[in-house]
Amino acid sequence: MTSALPRLGRLHASVTVSAACVEPVFPLRGWFVSTALALGMVALGCSEPTAPPILPEVIVPTAPEQVATETLPKVKFTEITTESGVTFVHTSAMTGRKLLPETMGSGVAVFDFDNDGDQDLLFINQTFWPEDRHPDQPLPTQCLYANDGTGRFTDVTESAGLAVSVFGQGVAVGDYDNDGYLDVYITTLEGGLLFRNQGNGTFVNVTGTAGVGSEGWMSSAAFFDFNNDGLLDLFVCRYLDWNPRDDLEQNFQLAGTGKGRAYGPPTAFKGTLCLLFRNNGDGTFTDVSEAAGVQIKTLDAQVPFGKALGVAPYDIDGDGFVDLAVANDTVPNFLLHNRGDGTFEEIGTLAGVAFDQQGRARGAMGIDWADFRNDGTLGLAIGNFANEMTALYVSDDPSTLQFADLANIFGLGAPTQPPLKFGLFFFDYDLDGRQDLLMTNGHLENEISKVQASETYAQSAQLYWNSGKPGRTLFTLVSSDVIGPDLYEPIVGRGSAYGDFDGDGDLDVVFTASGGPAKLYRNEGGNANRFLRLRLIGGPGSNRDAIGARLELTTTDGVTQRRQHFPAKGYLSSVEFPITFGLGPEASVERLVIRWPSGKVTSYDGSVLEANRVHTLKEADVSPSTSTE
């Protein structure tokens, strides 16, 4: 039985100012010294707040209580990159000038591009700076791998039409034209690219005709239906107003060394604006960013405010309209509440997700939502910079839109503080019916150990098992003795995603590494528990893959699991489309209720949902029965 939570977020209830007019406390990144920053910070130009934020006392990171090793699941992750046929190596543009985009790495997408039922892989890649290119040197491209169904992959990049060389960052996947084939949007340092899946194993670049190119340094992106018209719209994070000249003119140096150049912090560059493209239904999009209210600026100076690296869609308050959480680097996070009239309201500060518990903005990157206690308690996890705890903003009544950071209370305190967290997502790796948390870590300064002995460039991932118990043992850091050494091999981790690559029912994992090879890890032992995998097909009024569907699955042991279907999550990445529910060792499905994006509600009796199978559920079916594959 779970312990009751107090009503959360009340510490923020009396704050009457928006995030855009609260001057944040910027975290200092201690490895660099900047002559530009030494001259002073430029004020944000915010108007005077009508009331100061009410801040709690200083929170000290707390070590979680220890959990006996024998109680942890007997699951291991084994690295299978070489045997799987994946040979992708991320191209780093590093040549010594230390330009900030070189540090960002890139994302990965897990999706079935050829509709053969297997989870394929698309790796996003950077390219060389123009002055570093050589005529006889082939340019690096994106890499698409087709899965044969057993976890063996073949590079089909050239034949698929994705051998394009750009300074890639992130990827979003969605069937924007509802033709039954998943399309791809790639974000880059200089804008975005939309590739339409032609249904014959190839993609075509339709960026120009679709109207979604735009400009600027883009990072994460997400397909979702913000106006409930059955068409997938596109939200794009943009990071910084950056150019190489401004970067090089600032004399960033490793602190205490008096020599050598360091990578500069985002605080040295201006913020920028996110984008929202509305799907017109004819293959084109309209930029409605300003009209929809997603472009956040300071109130007085009207200066672009965001430095966005991650986005996680979710219908937080259950009103039928999808909201957006945006992870910002060194400025307050955004919570864009969908008003249902085609516009959003930024309520990050009022909702309690903008800052840490001392009112400081953090270096936020990877982001994901989960009903992590199986009782309606909603958590928003955000991976932050080195020496900053991972955030876990929690609400026991999400309809109030009030959250509080309870990372310390639930075991995500002290262990999450040292590493620099990029990729992050919830998933049920042991199929016990509770969502666990995986973080992919790695520093951005390759010489960090010269000035911070406790920090390294390559870092180990962290896997937190959800015990289901109250208090600081709820999320328990799994040791390498239990999970195996492979998953924790230090890499310069960036993007991450999950999917069932070998078709055995449990969830495997893929990491990207900045300037290094991708890593695939096979889940061994997760399917000792029972599972249910669901593939959704939307009907009239819904998008083809039912992105945004809300699912409630009740098992015979009385537990109800809640999910919302959004593949876009983490850092620059996209996870598989099938939805996996763990059932534990003995439980069966009693009932499944799906609220489709159209608003239609379908209830399925457990008798038609056999465990350990993949079920295809179609909204258009006359009766609530299922077909399996």
pLDDT digit string, tens, across residues 419-463: 999 999 999 999 999 999 999 999 999 999 988 888 999 999 999
pTM: 0.91
User: If you ran DSSP here, which 8-state letter would residue 10 be given?
Assistant: G
pLDDT band for position 63 (50/70/90)? low
**Mean per-residue pLDDT of the chain:** 90
Enumerate the CATH 2.130.10.10 domain ranges in the chain, comma separated. Answer: 74-200+217-243+258-534
User: If you ran DSSP here, which 8-state letter would residue 361 be given?
Assistant: -
Measuring CA to CA, which residue among 541, 533, 535, 537 is closest to residue 597? Answer: 541
User: If you ran DSSP here, which 8-state letter would residue 547 be given?
Assistant: T
Burial class (CB in 10 A: 0-12, 13-18, 19+), 211: middle
Angle at 274 between CA 271 and CA 279, to 5 degrees: 165
pLDDT band for position 37 (50/70/90)? very low
- The CA distances from residue 104 to 160, 330, 372, 506, in Å, are 26, 15, 29, 30
Burial class (CB in 10 A: 0-12, 13-18, 19+), 320: middle
Please give the structure tokens belonging to residue 182. 């998943």
d(CA 464, CA 412): 8
Mean pLDDT value across residues 564-590: 98
Burial class (CB in 10 A: 0-12, 13-18, 19+), 473: middle
Would you state the pLDDT for residue 39?
A: 31
pLDDT digits (tens, 9 = 90+) for 86-118: 999 999 999 999 999 999 999 999 999 999 999
User: If you ran DSSP here, which 8-state letter would residue 54 be given?
Assistant: P
Q: Out of 2.130.10.10, 3.40.50.300, 1.10.1740.10, 3.40.50.20, which CATH number does the structure's domain 74-200+217-243+258-534 have?
A: 2.130.10.10
Strand positions, DSSP E, 525-628? 530-537, 550-555, 560-564, 568-569, 573-574, 579-584, 589-595, 601-605, 614-618, 627-628
303 pLDDT above the threshold of 70 = yes
